């Protein structure tokens, strides 16, 4: 079941190139949602004979499955028909058809599932064609066979895909004497990313080719440069395409890294995917032509751990609450509590040294309210960096007293910001601010 659940994520990819855009979207859900809305609007205008980019269709299929949006699902069904009508009959195009149809089958379209099986059977019967020029197309076919084998309960197709992967990647290139996965000269990042996706797909289906995968990860890093938006060109070799010269390469590499991250193969892959997307998304536009990047961005945001709340970190957590319900026109007391996890401490409000960052509460209050006092607890005396300072450890409470007006409105709140620096016995983190709101009424 896990293999089937991961199937869409592993297969929803086919490359497309794009030009640099003037807008600078960020790696946020809001940017992804805007790209979805713009692409849906653009693709909805087409007629039955208008082409639909396969990558854009796959992306919207993924979005529709996650959102349970009936209108979007209906649009995807129409787009699959349009893509089917415009794709040629080459093996790679047939592989794309299989992926599109399998995704529709996942959405309950039995006719699409049946046709996907028929096409997959013809792909399983063909002989793979090794060679650097065929790396991307053969990888698409491998992923199509994996998907069909998993969804249609045909393990023989998965076995065929595994054999094909070894043939196109592990066999020696006659021109270089090296295995094809090491012969990257002239191979664009897009094709290499697709090959990495194919191997990761097989691994998710219980066909680990870890001997190949380890070498491919090392080769990808060495051949295609760092994910910093730079353009690395080796004399006589192949260039990195992570600066927008071929955004399909950026998207391909990002999805491959996300596949590795999701199957727990490579702990560093998620961070690498993020760095690549942060460097590349400013080159994209919220449009179907950039679907590969938006698919990668959406998948990253699903996989990435949620950001730490503004009032918590692994070292310190902040909480605050009224000591008693507020009576408008009277003073109110807010207890601000800081909890330090062992072995961390923060400096007291009066640390006894100008070389450290004191803990300080800075409230922003509604109109008519004013700070009357902030009472900090005494710290604990310790020796740090050769001098004695006062620190807070474990749990401390700071008392903030404010005045309130008689007409304090409903919904009024106090916004608290706490400036602090967390340290252990060996080092200190950068100073930071934690924040939270306290409802007053």
Domains and CATH numbers, the chain: 2-303 (1.50.10.10), 316-439 (2.60.40.1250)
pLDDT of residue 377: 93
Neighbours of 27 (CB within 10 A): 18
pLDDT at 79 over 70: yes
Q: Which residues of 368-384 are buried (b: 16+ CB within 10 A; e: fewer)?
A: ebeeeebebeebeeeeb
Q: How confident is the prediction for the chain on average, in pLDDT?
A: 82
pLDDT at 11 over 50: no
Q: How far apart are CA 260 and CA 328, in angstroms?
A: 57
pLDDT of residue 416: 92
Whose tokens are 């997959």? That residue is 120
Mean local confidence (pLDDT), 322-333? 91
Tokens matching residue 191: 């094709």
Q: Are 77 and 313 in contact (CB under 8 A)?
A: no
pLDDT of residue 343: 87
Q: Which of 172, 182, 265, 166 has its CA nearest to residue 219? A: 182
Q: Which residue has the higher pLDDT, 290 or 100?
A: 100
pLDDT at 14 over 50: no
Tokens matching residue 262: 């999701």
pLDDT of residue 20: 31
DSSP 314: S
pLDDT tens track for 384-398 = 767 788 999 999 999
Answering whether pTM is above 0.85, one says: no
pLDDT tens track for 386-434 = 778 899 999 999 999 999 999 998 888 999 999 998 888 777 888 888 8
pLDDT at 232 over 90: no
C-alpha gyration radius of the chain: 28
The Cα-based distances of 404 to 186, 321, 386, 401 in angstroms read 71, 16, 45, 10
Q: Phi and psi for 168 in degrees, rounded to 5?
A: -85, -15
Q: How far apart are the first and last CA of the chain?
A: 49
pLDDT tens track for 22-75 = 346 788 888 999 999 999 999 998 787 888 888 899 999 999 988 878 899 999
Mean local confidence (pLDDT), 260-284? 82
pLDDT at 21 over 60: no
């Amino acid at each position: 079941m896990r293999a089937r659940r991961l199937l869409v994520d592993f297969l929803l990819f086919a490359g497309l190139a794009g030009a640099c855009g003037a807008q600078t979207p960020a790696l946020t859900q809001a940017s992804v949602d805007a790209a979805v809305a713009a692409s849906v609007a653009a693709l909805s205008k087409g007629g039955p004979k208008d082409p639909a980019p396969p990558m854009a269709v796959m992306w919207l299929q993924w979005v529709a499955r996650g959102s349970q949006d009936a209108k979007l699902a209906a649009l995807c069904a129409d787009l699959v028909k349009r893509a089917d009508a415009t794709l040629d009959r080459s093996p790679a195009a047939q592989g794309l058809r299989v992926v599109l149809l399998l995704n529709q089958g996942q959405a309950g379209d039995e006719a699409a599932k049946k046709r996907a099986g028929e096409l997959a059977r013809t792909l399983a019967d063909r002989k793979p064609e090794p060679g650097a020029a065929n790396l991307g197309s053969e990888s698409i076919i491998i992923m199509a066979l994996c998907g069909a084998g998993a969804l249609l309960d045909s393990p023989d197709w998965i076995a065929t895909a595994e054999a094909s992967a070894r043939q196109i990647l592990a066999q020696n290139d006659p021109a270089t004497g090296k295995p094809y996965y090491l012969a990257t000269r002239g191979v664009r990042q897009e094709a290499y990313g697709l090959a990495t996706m194919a191997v990761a797909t097989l691994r998710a289906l219980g066909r680990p080719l870890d001997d190949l995968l380890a070498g491919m990860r090392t080769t990808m890093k060495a051949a295609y440069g760092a994910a910093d938006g730079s353009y690395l060109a080796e004399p006589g070799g192949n260039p990195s395409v992570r600066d927008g010269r071929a955004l399909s390469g950026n998207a391909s590499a990002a999805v491959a890294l996300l596949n590795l991250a999701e199957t727990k193969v490579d702990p560093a892959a998620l961070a690498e995917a993020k760095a690549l997307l942060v460097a590349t998304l400013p080159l994209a536009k919220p449009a179907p032509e950039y679907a590969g990047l938006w698919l990668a961005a959406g998948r990253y945001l699903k996989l990435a751990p949620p950001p730490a709340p503004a009032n918590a970190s692994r070292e310190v957590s902040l909480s605050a609450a009224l000591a008693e319900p507020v009576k408008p026109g009277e003073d109110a007391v807010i207890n601000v509590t800081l909890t330090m996890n062992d072995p961390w401490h923060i400096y007291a409000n009066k640390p006894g040294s100008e070389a450290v960052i004191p803990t300080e509460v800075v409230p922003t209050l509604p109109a008519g309210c004013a700070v009357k006092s902030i009472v900090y607890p005494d710290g604990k005396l310790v020796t740090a960096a050769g001098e004695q300072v006062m620190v807070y450890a474990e749990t401390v409470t700071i008392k903030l007293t404010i005045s309130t007006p008689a007409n304090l409105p409903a919904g009024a709140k106090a916004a608290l910001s706490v400036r602090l620096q967390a340290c252990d016995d060996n080092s200190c983190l950068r100073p930071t601010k934690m924040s939270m709101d306290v409802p007053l009424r």
